[in-house]
Amino acid sequence: MGTPTLIKTRQIESGTFGGGIGALIIKDEGVFLATGTVLDFVGDGVTPTASGTNIRVYIPAGGGGGGLGVVVQDEGAFLATGTVLNFVGDGVTASASGTNIRVYVPVSTGTLLGGWIPLTGTYLSADSPSYVMSFTGDMTGILSAGMRFKVTASGTVNQFIITAIGSYSGGATPVTLYGGTDYTLPSGTMASPYYSREKAPFGFPVSPIKWTVTATDSTNAQQASAVTGTWYNLGSINISIPIGVWHVSYQVALRNSIAAGNQVDSKVTLSTGNNTQSDAAFTAMMNIANDHATALFTQITSITRFKYLLLASKTTYYLNAVTSIATSTLNFRGDILTTTILCVCAYL
């Protein structure tokens, strides 16, 4: 409802309103409300004045529990109305000029950097490059995988990506943090822990190079006298992938040779076992057909494959190969093209 406006006074010939000679017609911003002979102003801060037959009523926009209230907005979006607006937090500055109120919230206040929100937690365990902290209370509705986290220990700022939120139990919630290539979580006293919902809060490195797990091999890894249909983990090449969501890829120079008049399918896969194919989506193939009557035929092919993985626990993956017919030697020629397994955190 807007400020009621007293419009006018008119003569009543018959004096029907309590014997009076006039009646008030009351409108709210031009809309008829009522007529009567008594107009009573109620509420702290309401001030009526009269000048002749003109009556003016001032109703304040807010204040003292009797006003219409303050309309509070966040960047133009309505939040609430009320009579008290309280500004809380270090560095928050409010100023008023007439009916205009300006609030300044700093991007940086002391050790509070832009985008970071303070949060208290304690060290729980480590499985490098992942670490677990415990936070008092049910954090499952506050923290989620992909958020950023940082903490200071011994004067060094360590930054992390949250990769898993455990179940709330016993008054606390465990949270798994991935430290990338540069950061570790010490078990001692930690200072200034913060989390952020932003992709790149102030000071957080977003280069994928910082948030990868890599395995490489530059040798000529081989399996002599490879048996048909048997998967081999050539050179024992493997990678341990932490908890979280990962973009996983591999590149390998696969070599195989066959006798004259034969054809062979050779395959490479990334598997959770060192002698299996656990996921066909991780498998790539090369084919050799040797039509020569007497010559031995050898082929080296660069093979690559990628897939997204969601892991609830740290898991080892093995780079394996298989041949469809018996062959003298099956090789990963890392000495020609470095054999590489690359896992990039998908929460970037």
pLDDT of 114 reads 83
Q: Mean pLDDT of successive 10-residue segments in the chain (348 residues)?
A: 44 40 68 75 71 71 50 68 66 68 55 78 94 95 96 90 97 97 86 91 95 98 93 98 98 87 86 98 87 72 96 98 86 97 97
CB atoms under 10 Å from CB of 16, counted, come to 9
Residue 225 half-sphere exposure toward CB, CA atoms < 13 A: 0
pLDDT of 190 reads 77
Amino acid (1-letter code) at residue 123:
Y
Indicate left, alpha or beta for 91 from its phi (over 0: left) and psi (-120 to 50: alpha).
left
pLDDT of 15 reads 41
Under a CB-based contact definition with an 8 Å cutoff, are residues 248 and 335 in contact? no
C-alpha separations of 194 from 13, 155, 167, 254 in Å = 77, 15, 21, 47
Q: Which residues, listed in sequence order, are joined to residue 31 by a DSSP beta bridge?
A: 28
Under a CB-based contact definition with an 8 Å cutoff, are residues 188 and 153 in contact? yes
pLDDT of 19 reads 42
Place of tokens 């024992």: 236
- pTM to 2 decimals? 0.68
The two structure tokens encoding residue 256: 């195989």
DSSP letter string, 154-177: TTEEEEEEEEEE---BTTEEEEEE
pLDDT of 52 reads 73
Question: E strands of 218-296, at which residues?
Answer: 220-226, 238-241, 244-258, 263-271, 284-289
DSSP 234: G
Round to whole Å and give the CA distance between 283 and 269. 4
The dihedrals phi and psi of 247, each to the nearest 5 degrees, come to -95, 105
Amino acid (1-letter code) at residue 186:
P
DSSP 81: E
Round to whole Å and give the CA distance between 94 and 86. 10
The dihedrals phi and psi of 316, each to the nearest 5 degrees, come to -95, 135
Q: What are the structural domains of the chain?
A: 117-206 (2.40.30), 213-345 (2.60.120)
Under a CB-based contact definition with an 8 Å cutoff, are residues 330 and 234 in contact? yes
Q: Which residues, listed in sequence order, are joined to residue 272 by a DSSP beta bridge?
A: none
